[in-house]
A = this chain, B = another copy of it.
Amino acid sequence: MRADARRNLDKIVTAAAAVVAERGIEAPMEVIARRAGVGVGTLYRRFPDRNALIAALGDHYVHSLADALRRSEENVPDAWTALREHLTWTVDPGRGALASAMAELPDEVFLDRPDFARARGHWLEMLDALVHRAQAEGAMRPDVTTEEVLALLNLFACHPADLPAAVAARPARFLRLILDGLQATAATEPPTAPA
């Protein structure tokens, strides 16, 4: 592969991640190309269709998800805090709707990409384990399932353009509000200080 071609490939992936984070998984191919400073033709030469591009992105993203989760678990002793830290990472602007993109992924994307599916499954398992641990440690209300936590997370993840402006502006703040409600008791840690 020629040097300039590789350069462009990188630019495309970077741009695609950004655009998908901002506009969701259905962002027009042309917007991505333009953002990468490249013609649509170049984009299509590299990725025969949208799914190929999304899969490339997803592969990337899912791995960093798993890494981030592992990192949180290592740095933070208690499960609840680790969970909160990880979810906050997830919601970071710039990562934006990527999590959503992963959630929305049509099945076709996974066909012929077992590695991707596996990596995603791995992350889900780790998350599930963390939730259970947090509950076992008594830091998290026990009547909430991992699936529900994910659903709550995905609330942030509908098409970015449709998010309430306030939430889009300060996702971490709102995530925090929501997570506070998942604690076993607010007494353990009183709500963030009164204004």
Interface residues of A (CB under 8 A from B): 103-104, 141-144, 147-148, 150-152, 154-159, 162-167, 173-174, 177-187, 190-195
Task: For the complex formed, measure the closest distance between the CB of A56 and the CB atoms of chain B, giving whole angstroms.
Answer: 23
Bound-complex Cα distance A62 to B173 (A): 29
Bound-complex Cα distance A155 to B104 (A): 17
Given B158, B178, B193, which contacts A162 in the complex, CB threshold below 8 Å? Answer: B158
- The reply to whether A177 and B178 contact each other, CB–CB distance below 8 Å, is yes
Q: Given A158-B163, A159-B162, A166-B148, is A185 in contact with B191 using a C-beta cutoff of 8 Å?
A: yes
A-B contact pairs, 25 of them (CB 8 A): A104-B162, A141-B191, A141-B192, A143-B192, A143-B194, A148-B166, A148-B177, A150-B166, A151-B166, A152-B174, A155-B155, A155-B164, A155-B167, A158-B159, A158-B162, A159-B159, A177-B182, A178-B178, A178-B181, A179-B181, A181-B181, A181-B183, A183-B186, A185-B187, A186-B187
Contacts of A192 in B (CB 8 A): 141, 143
Task: For the complex formed, measure the closest distance between the CB of A152 and the CB atoms of chain B, giving whole angstroms.
Answer: 7
Given B103, B143, B158, B186, which contacts A186 in the complex, CB threshold below 8 Å? Answer: B186
Bound-complex Cα distance A152 to B177 (A): 9
Bound-complex Cα distance A162 to B160 (A): 10
Contacts of A158 in B (CB 8 A): 158-159, 162-164
- The reply to whether A164 and B151 contact each other, CB–CB distance below 8 Å, is yes
- The reply to whether A162 and B164 contact each other, CB–CB distance below 8 Å, is no
Task: For the complex formed, measure the closest distance between the CB of A195 and the CB atoms of chain B, giving whole angstroms.
Answer: 5
Chain B residue at minimal CB-CB distance from A156: B155
| Most chain B CB inside 10 Å of its own CB: which residue of A158, A174, A180 | A158
Bound-complex Cα distance A182 to B177 (A): 7
Task: For the complex formed, measure the closest distance between the CB of A139 and the CB atoms of chain B, giving whole angstroms.
Answer: 12
